[in-house]
Structure 1
Amino acid sequence: MFQALSNVLLPVMIVAGLGALLASRMQIDQVTVSRITMYLLIPALVLDVILQTPVKAAEAGQLGLAFLLTMGLSLALGWLIGWGRPDAERRSLSAAAGIWNSGNMGLPIALFAFGDRGFDQATVVFLVSIVAMYIVGPAIYGSASKSGQKYGVAGILKSVFRLPTVWVALVALGLRLLNVPLPEGITRGVSLLAQATLPLVLLSLGLQLGAGGWPPLNRRVWLASAARLIGGPLIALGVGSLVGLRELPLAVLILSASMPTAVNALLLAQEYGGDSETVAGVVLVTTLGSVLTVAAVVALLPGLG
C-alpha cells in the first residue's frame, strides 16, 4: 500500500494540493479554469486518445456498458441510503454515491497505475461518464433548476449535445472508422493540448476543494461516502466479471469506481435544486478518505491488470 501511495497517489496529491493551497491564499477565477478544461483541453484529449488508442470498438463498448451498470447500481445504493429522508436529500445522496471523479483523479491515477494502456481505457470510461453524468443530473433530480426551467428529455439531450467533447468524440470516431488521417501539424497541436489536460484538471480539483468551506457532516453523509469508496469498487468487480471483463479492463473499471464523488455532482445539485450541502459533505469525506481507499484498491489490483 505504501508503494501505491508514493508512486500513484502522491503525484496526484501534490498537484491537487498545490491548487488547494493557491485557492486558499488568493482569489482564482475557477470558472475560467473550468471552461478552459471542459471546452478545450478535454476535447483535445478525447480526440487524441480516440485517434491514437489501440482500444478496440468491441472492448470499448463492453467497458462502457459495465461502467453504466456500475453507475446505475451505485445510484440505487445511494437512493437506499436516503430512505426516509426528504426528497431533495435522498436524490442528492443517490447522485453523490453514483457520480464519481473518473476525470480529475481517475485519469492520472490510471496512468500512474497501469501505464498508457490503462490510461487509454480509462479515457473510454471518462468519455462515457461525461455523457452519463449530464443525463443522470437532470433525470435524478427531476425538478426545476434555479432559473425555473423544467428538464425533460429534450432538455437533457440539449445539455448533453451542448458539450464539445461529445461532438469531438463523434467526429474522431468517424475519422477512425473511415481511416481518414489528419495532417501531422494538426495532430501535433492536439497532442500538445492533450498533454496539458491532466495537470490542469488536477489543479482545477485542488482549486475547487481549497475554495470550499467545511460542510456539515451527518450519518447519511458518512454512509454515502462508504457506499462510494467501498461499495463502488465492489459493485464494479461484480458487474465487470458478469459482463465478461478480464484483467486490465476489469482493473480499470474497478479503479474508476473507487474514485471519490465528483465535484461536478455538487455543481449538478446546485443547478437542479438538490441538497448541495449533503453533496458537498460527501465530496469532502470521499476526497479525503480516497487517499487510503484508492491506495488499497491499487495495491490489490496487480493480479487483475
Structure 2
Amino acid sequence: MLIQMVNILGPILAMTLIGYVMGRSSLGLETRTLSTVVILVATPALIFNTLTSLHVTPETIGRMAAAALLCLSLAGGLGLAVLLLVGGSVRSFLPPLMLPNSGNMGLPLVVLAFGSEGMQLGVAYFFVVALVQHTVGLSIYAGTLRLRALARQPLIYSVAAVLLVTWFDLPVPQILLTTTEMLGGMMIPAMLLLLGTSLASLQIADLRPALMVAVGRLLIGVLSAAIVIFVLGLSGVAAGTVFLLATMPTAIISYVFAERYQRDARQVAGSVVVSTLLTFVCLPVLVWTALEISGGGLPVSVAQE
C-alpha cells in the first residue's frame, strides 16, 4: 500500500512543485495563455477522446453527471447554511465552499489511483463541475444569472458530441481520435503546473477566514461525497472517484471571479492557498479512503507501473 500511495501522490507533488518553482523564478510561466489553451482546447479534447475511445455508455455518463450535480448541490446548501450561521459573505465565500478543484488536482488523482476506468468516470464527473463553475459560480460573483456563459463553453459542445456518438453508435474517424488524444494529453500536466504557479503567486491576506473556508471545504466535500455515494448506491471505482473529486480543495477559478467582480479577492486567494495546502496534507488519508471505498486496491495495470 505504501508503494501504491507513493506512486499516486509522487507525480502530483512533483508536477505541482515544478509549477511552483517556475512561478517563483525569473523565468515565470504565462499562466493566462496556458489556462486559455487548457480550457478552450485541451479539456474539450480530453473529454471527447476519453468518453468516445473508451466506449463509455450514456448510462455511465449520466450516473457520474448526476453524482457531480448532487454533490455540488449539497455542497452549496451546506456552504450557504454555514455562511448564514457565521455571518459570512455569501457572494464572496459560497463558491470557495461549494466548488472543488476537481480539474487541477482531482483528475490526476483518479487517473493515478484507478487507471483508465478512473479517467473515464472522472471526466464524466468533471465536466459537470466545470460547467457549474463557469455558470453558477460566475453568476454568484456577478450578482446576476449568467446562463449565456454556458453557450461560450467549448465543454458543452464536446459533451454534446460525445452523447451523439454514444447514443447513435457513430464511428469516429481515427484522425479525430488521434488529434484529440494528443491535445487532451496535455491537460493534466498543464493543470498541475498551473496549480503550482498559482500557489506561488497567490498570498494569504487574512489567515482566519482562509482557514475557516479551507476546513469547511474539506468537511463539506467529505460529507457531500458520503451522502451521494450512499443515496446513489455507488460502489467500486465509481464510489472512489466521486469521493476524491468531491473532497478536492477550493477551485482557483473562484479567485479569478472574485478578482473580476471585486468580491474580497485577497481573502478568496488566501482560502485557495490554505485549502490546497490542507488538502495536500490530507491527501494520503483521502487517497487511502478512496481506495478502501473502491475495494481496497489498484487496477492491475496501475499497480504494476
1:280 equivalenced with 2:281 (yes/no): no
Q: Distance in 1 between matches of 2:138 and 2:22?
A: 32
Aligned to 1:65: 66
- Contact residue 236 and residue 293 of structure 2 kept, 8 A: yes
Aligned to 1:132: 132
Task: Name stretches of at least 5 consecutive residues in structure 2 with no aligned partner.
Answer: 295-305
Aligned to 2:52: 51
Deviation at 1:84, TM superposition (A): 6.2
Write out aligned runs for 1:1-305 (5 A): 2-3=2-3, 5-26=5-26, 27-83=28-84, 89-141=89-141, 143=143, 151-152=144-145, 156-218=146-208, 220-305=209-294
Identical positions, percent = 26
- Contact residue 131 and residue 155 of structure 2 kept, 8 A: no
Deviation at 1:133, TM superposition (A): 1.2
Letter in 2 for 1:178: F
Deviation at 1:276, TM superposition (A): 1.6
Residues 246-272 of structure 1 deviation map (CA, whole Å, 9 limit, x = unaligned): 222111111111111110111122233
Deviation at 1:223, TM superposition (A): 2.4
- Contact residue 79 and residue 90 of structure 1 kept, 8 A: yes
Q: Distance in 2 between matches of 1:275 and 1:214?
A: 12
Change (3 A) 1:175 1:58: closer
TM-score by length of 1: 0.89
Change (3 A) 1:41 1:142: closer
- Contact residue 204 and residue 210 of structure 2 kept, 8 A: no
- Contact residue 79 and residue 97 of structure 2 kept, 8 A: yes
Letter in 2 for 1:186: L
Deviation at 1:65, TM superposition (A): 1.6
Deviation at 1:161, TM superposition (A): 1.4
Deviation at 1:96, TM superposition (A): 0.7
Letter in 2 for 1:66: A
Q: Distance in 2 between matches of 1:108 and 1:241?
A: 25
Aligned to 1:147: none
Deviation at 1:73, TM superposition (A): 1.8
- Contact residue 76 and residue 97 of structure 2 kept, 8 A: yes
TM-score by length of 2: 0.89
- Secondary structure of the corresponding residue to residue 188 of structure 1: helix
- Contact residue 5 and residue 291 of structure 1 kept, 8 A: no
- Contact residue 58 and residue 163 of structure 2 kept, 8 A: no
- Secondary structure of the corresponding residue to residue 104 of structure 2: coil
- Contact residue 261 and residue 287 of structure 1 kept, 8 A: yes
Deviation at 1:304, TM superposition (A): 2.3
- Secondary structure of the corresponding residue to residue 112 of structure 1: helix
Q: Distance in 1 between matches of 2:261 and 2:51?
A: 32
Q: Distance in 2 between matches of 1:123 and 1:181?
A: 21
Residues 26-63 of structure 1 deviation map (CA, whole Å, 9 limit, x = unaligned): 23321111111111111110110121234322232122
Change (3 A) 1:84 1:299: closer
- Secondary structure of the corresponding residue to residue 103 of structure 1: helix
Mean alpha-carbon deviation: is it higher for 17-26 or for 68-77?
68-77
- Contact residue 137 and residue 272 of structure 1 kept, 8 A: no
CA RMSD of aligned residues (A): 2.0
Task: Name stretches of at least 5 consecutive residues in structure 1 with no aligned partner.
Answer: 144-150
Q: Distance in 2 between matches of 1:162 and 1:106?
A: 24
- Contact residue 102 and residue 248 of structure 2 kept, 8 A: yes
- Contact residue 255 and residue 265 of structure 2 kept, 8 A: yes
